[in-house]
Chains A and B, each alone.
Chain A
């Protein structure tokens, strides 16, 4: 421990986007002027984006939180006269969370492997290193962990398929193509606690007998790419990755592959094609990627959050994880609260919290102060939920029962100025731009969808039935969720906000 002043300031993109680097420069200048020995730790984000840049100053063994901090606040910050939130753990938004996947995020320097170990890191991998593949897969199955990318498929079943498949060449592929609007948990964990993902992938490798892993990381996340690459190098040098993982006598190594701006590559089969160097066109299933995946070999494809949750399951045990949650939605979900909200950020909690509680109590309603009109849950392919559905518990089956989906758990809040017809049109337009082109209902249907919505906007009421019909065709006739789920936002907007689809007509009459 140095005698100087220890200050934590996030290197997370959201913090940087709100001026964290400028605050860092101001801190360095002011510390030099005052002759203070500054120990500045660039940590991950604690997830309270409305308080970013959130600065923590270590005083008497406590980390006192200040934010949002502007460069001009730095003198007062060092004087100790700036308004303080207490510790991060005192802030209600943080205090009511159950942090498992994100336990370390924001606590430590993301590239400090010793700090990672000191906070429970590598305990899970060390335990897994002493287990057989079948035991590892069994542990994941018992935890009830489901795919966090959106589909919610049980991770243990997928892993077991790969374990049973013929080797020797198998792969672990991490889907870090987090393209859904309103989601940023993958980015935050990769920027804030990358070793968790590395550890999770290594456990998966030991479990199914794969020796090579790839993180398919979108090009829109340059900061995450930089941190992940650095973390992989450090892990390799420390023997966490390589020919002899933690001395267990088994090999696992991995690398980052950068995407190229195609949303559809977040779909697992299109992602595999992209990794192989092909157009990111969707593949028909079967064969399942677990049997014929990357380069035709058995492959585990899991989302960042799924793999990053594996270490804590091995650290605390499957039963601990399975003890949380609601029904078949076991454990916790890092929910991302975004859009027009007073308190946006990452909120990890056990499954089951009602949507309205998240929107009103946790997030504090809209940032604009106007009434909430709609909440889109699950990204651009998720349904718009009206306030009448706010008692829906946040869990897979419960949302499904209400005609929605939790997807990657992004929650985007809109106030009463939102134009639902425009948002429905955007959903179709987005689908048209991003369609891989394989399925006609998606490739052409999305274009026709934009045209049909334009007709409705011009007052052609007869086009409404046509739109519903088109959506049915897209749902039934598309291989993947892009064409298949675009009808969710469109139809939910039409069903719950019919006035927005009739306004032009009335005006014309």
Chain B
């Protein structure tokens, strides 16, 4: 937390730093952060729970974010992802039982002219098809 305390509006940078270090923003971190920023735990909890990025528990070893937005839908993303989720046996936001991969929805990666698009552990992938997505998920679970 220390490097962020002198910044204006330090809460989001702090929460990002916590998640980068711990893989999530655990509930136990909330009162600690609140005390340092002179906020109530409720205020900090409110912020953590507002944003989709912050997790309560760590994700699987790999995170695959698949775009659900309109431009990707126009090139078949919906059927593609429904099939993939079914094969993995999980829903959106779910993690495979082996802890290998978490699949999250994302609403636009700015890859709208080369969809369907996804992001695998921060690496962008475009023009997904069944074979490409299967290979990504297979590799992530290996």
Binding site for B on A (CB under 8 A): 13-14, 16-18, 49-50, 52, 178-184, 186-188, 219-223, 257-263, 274-281, 295, 336-341, 344-345, 367, 376, 380, 410, 412-415, 418, 422-423, 426, 430, 433-434, 436
Contacts and interface: CB of A to CB of B under 8 A. Distances in A.
B82 interface: no
Counting chain B CB atoms within 10 Å of each CB, the highest count among A220, A274, A380 belongs to: A220
A220 B109 contact: yes
Contacts of A186: 110
B69 interface: yes
Nearest to B108: A181
Nearest to B119: A220
Counting chain A CB atoms within 10 Å of each CB, the highest count among B52, B69, B71, B78 belongs to: B71
Contacts of A258: 12-13, 16
Given A17-B126, A263-B107, A277-B47, A410 B11 contact: no
7 contacts: A17-B124, A182-B108, A260-B15, A277-B47, A338-B71, A341-B113, A344-B113
Contacts of B12: 257-260, 274-275, 277
Contacts of B109: 13, 220-221
Interface in B72-118: 72-75, 78, 106-115, 117
Nearest to A277: B11
B118 to A, nearest CB: 9
A183 B107 contact: no
B46 interface: yes
A182 B117 CA distance: 12
Contacts of B27: none
A108 B139 CA distance: 35
Given A260-B52, A260-B54, A279-B46, A413 B124 contact: no
A329 B130 CA distance: 43
A345 B53 CA distance: 28
Contacts of B115: 338-339
B52 A261 contact: yes
Interface of B: 8-13, 15-16, 37, 46-47, 50-54, 65, 67, 69-75, 78, 106-115, 117, 119, 122-127
A339 B9 contact: no
A18 B70 contact: no
Given A260-B16, A380-B69, 14 more contacts: A17-B117, A179-B108, A182-B112, A261-B106, A276-B8, A276-B9, A277-B11, A336-B112, A344-B114, A380-B70, A414-B74, A423-B70, A430-B107, A436-B50
A187 B110 contact: yes
Counting chain A CB atoms within 10 Å of each CB, the highest count among B9, B117, B123 belongs to: B9
Contacts of B127: 17-18
Contacts of B13: 257-258
B70 A184 contact: no
A380 B108 CA distance: 10
Counting chain A CB atoms within 10 Å of each CB, the highest count among B16, B46, B110 belongs to: B110
Contacts, number: 158
Nearest to A380: B70
A261 B53 contact: yes
8 closest A-B pairs by beta carbon, nearest first, are A344-B113, A277-B11, A17-B126, A181-B69, A338-B112, A260-B51, A261-B52, A339-B74
Contacts of B51: 259-262, 280
A220 B74 contact: no
A219 B13 CA distance: 12
A220 B112 CA distance: 13
B110 A183 contact: yes
A313 B31 CA distance: 49
Contacts of B67: 181
Contacts of A184: 110-113
A17 B125 contact: yes
B8 A295 contact: yes
Nearest to A338: B112
B76 to A, nearest CB: 9
A260 B107 contact: no
B122 to A, nearest CB: 5
A221 B110 contact: yes
Contacts of B15: 260
B114 A181 contact: no
Contacts of A17: 111, 114, 117, 124-127
A179 B108 CA distance: 6
Nearest to B126: A17
A227 to B, nearest CB: 13
B114 A49 contact: yes
A18 B125 CA distance: 7
Contact of B70 (A188, A337, A412, A433): A412
B125 A413 contact: no
A18 B126 contact: yes
A295 to B, nearest CB: 7
A275 B9 contact: yes
Nearest to A366: B74
B12 to A, nearest CB: 6
A17 B107 CA distance: 17
Nearest to A340: B74
Contacts of A50: 113-114
A296 to B, nearest CB: 12
Contacts of B78: 422
A49 B78 CA distance: 22
B71 A260 contact: no
A13 B70 contact: no
B53 A339 contact: no
A344 B112 contact: yes
